[in-house]
Amino acid sequence: MTANAHKPNKAGIQHTLVFLALLVVLSYGAYSFIIPRVVEGAVLALFQPHDKKLKDNFKEVQPHLFAVVTDKFTGTVPSNEKLKQYIKTDYIFDFTSATREEALDGYTKGAGEWIMKANGEGGLGESAIIIEPILGFTVLSIVLGFGLAIVVTFFLPSGIGYMAQKVEREIHHTKDKIRLQTGFSTEIVDLLTMPDHDLAALEPHQVRSAFKFVWDRTSVDDEDVAAQHGKRIIRFEEVFAPDVDIVMFRNEVLYLRLKEFFSDFVLKEIQDTTNGIIWSRNRLAFFKGLRLYMAHHFTEKYSNNVTGFAYFGAAILIVIIGVRGLKFIPATKPSLILAAISLEGSLLALLAFGLVYTEEEERMDKMLKKMEDANKNQLETMKDVSQDMHSLAGALVGETSELIKRKVEEAIAESLASDDNVKRVVSDKVAEKIIIAMRESFPGGQRS
């Protein structure tokens, strides 16, 4: 009935190594391919020439190098040829890793820099914007690589997939929490969290006793209390017929009783665990496994950490923007500001993502109702315990009296069974009587 025959252990070295390898590869891919092309596309869409003549002459001079060309430009310029005679310097968007010199190429650029210059209408001003990708986009590339590695390891087998192992473990942990919160046995929890198609394969007589236990456990009032309020208790036998649809009965009847008796959160744990089991059998059900992990582990354990990091990132961003305002960071070199924005944006995105999966608090009236029902059940339990203790005390008192009586009788019988004991007792009593008689006969002697 369980998703796996055994509980998964903690993540091993193989999980960590596979995750780190994916992180490095995907971060490098994001840094080298995804981010440059996205930035290139955004810059060209926003700042390419608006003037028709300039726009007609705005060409890709070399791969990832765009500029307004001169009449000498006849096609793509070889990478080893200098550019000055082929381009005008009004519009230059260079996303290559090549170095450029003013005298030979018409502008200066280092190997690890991107140049964006658009001094026409709606452009970037007369000065070129210089971006250092290693400073401005390293944080973003690591974040993208981390996120992609998380997604990929969801689809890997739990033996090597970092997140797959985490979700498998969370399935068992959530089942344990359900057992602790409800007091149900392992078999009952397995039935409550079983996917619909698995439950449909069972016969009603196979689940009858377990469902009846859940029904009785979630009964709020007993028959006497219900009669006092003019209500009638619905018995389990009235609704669980031999031909009942056990999937519908569990999902519509038992789940509703569990929600009313315990809480919405317990029911959500059961449903999310069921979805987690579905994910464990079909990795394409990605969001089912993601919800189980996020709602019942990540947000419970790390929500405060994420909030703290978000505030910390905001503090860094404020400091850097303040330094930029003091002119310590040139307006033409915004790489550090881009790094701070990437960091804070990533942390805020993680915070927002966590809030999506955070369980809502219950309404106060529902909570009070559940507390009242729980107190009633505790009172009834205490009454039962009190009656049992009273019966036990009565039984112990009765047994103790009988034991004392029996011991006294045995002691008397043992004393009378010995002639020496009888003679000694008689002699002591006779001597005592003689002494008393002599004292009464000779009172004066007693005073001297």
Spatial separation of the C-alpha atoms in residues 11 and 18, rounded to whole Å: 11
Predicted pLDDT at 4 = 46
Predicted pLDDT at 277 = 97
Lowest mean pLDDT, pick from 53-57, 78-82, 118-122 = 118-122
pLDDT tens for each residue of 322-352: 988 878 889 899 999 999 999 999 999 999 9
Q: Round the average pLDDT of the chain to a whole number and report it.
A: 86
Q: Is 208 exposed, middle or buried (0-12, 13-18, 19+ CB in 10 A)?
A: middle
Predicted pLDDT at 372 = 62
Q: Is 23 exposed, middle or buried (0-12, 13-18, 19+ CB in 10 A)?
A: buried
**Number of alpha carbons in the 13 Å side-chain half-sphere of residue 438:** 8
pLDDT tens for each residue of 374-387: 565 566 667 666 77
- Whether the CA torsion 293, 295, 298, 301 is positive or negative: it is negative
Residue type, 168: E
Q: How many CB atoms lie within 10 A of CB 218?
A: 17
Q: Are 92 and 67 in contact (CB under 8 A)?
A: yes
Predicted pLDDT at 381 = 63
Q: Is the pLDDT of residue 286 over 90?
A: yes
pLDDT tens for each residue of 410-425: 776 666 666 666 667 6
Q: How many CB atoms lie within 10 A of CB 34?
A: 17
Spatial separation of the C-alpha atoms in residues 437 and 278, rounded to whole Å: 102
Residue 275: partners with Cβ closer than 8 Å, 6 or more residues away: 285, 288, 289, 291, 292
Strand pairing report for 125-131 and 114-118 = antiparallel
What does the buried/exposed string (b/e) look like for 39-52 if buried means 16 or more CB atoms within 10 Å of the residue's CB? bbeebeeebbbeee
Spatial separation of the C-alpha atoms in residues 197 and 279, rounded to whole Å: 14
pLDDT band at 447 (very low <50, low <70, confident <90, very high): very low
Predicted pLDDT at 2 = 45
Question: In which residue are the tokens 């009633």 written?
Answer: 376
Spatial separation of the C-alpha atoms in residues 308 and 30, rounded to whole Å: 27
Pick 75 or 25 by higher pLDDT: 25
Lowest mean pLDDT, pick from 113-117, 143-147, 314-318, 369-373 = 369-373
- At 19, give phi and psi (nearest 5°): -65, -45
pLDDT, average across residues 287-292: 96
Q: Are 151 and 23 in contact (CB under 8 A)?
A: no
Q: Is the pLDDT of residue 55 over 70?
A: yes
Predicted pLDDT at 446 = 47
Q: Are 59 and 83 in contact (CB under 8 A)?
A: no
SS3 176: helix
pLDDT, average across residues 116-125: 88
- Whether the CA torsion 345, 348, 315, 313 is positive or negative: it is negative
Predicted pLDDT at 156 = 96
pLDDT tens for each residue of 151-165: 999 999 999 999 999
pLDDT, average across residues 200-223: 89
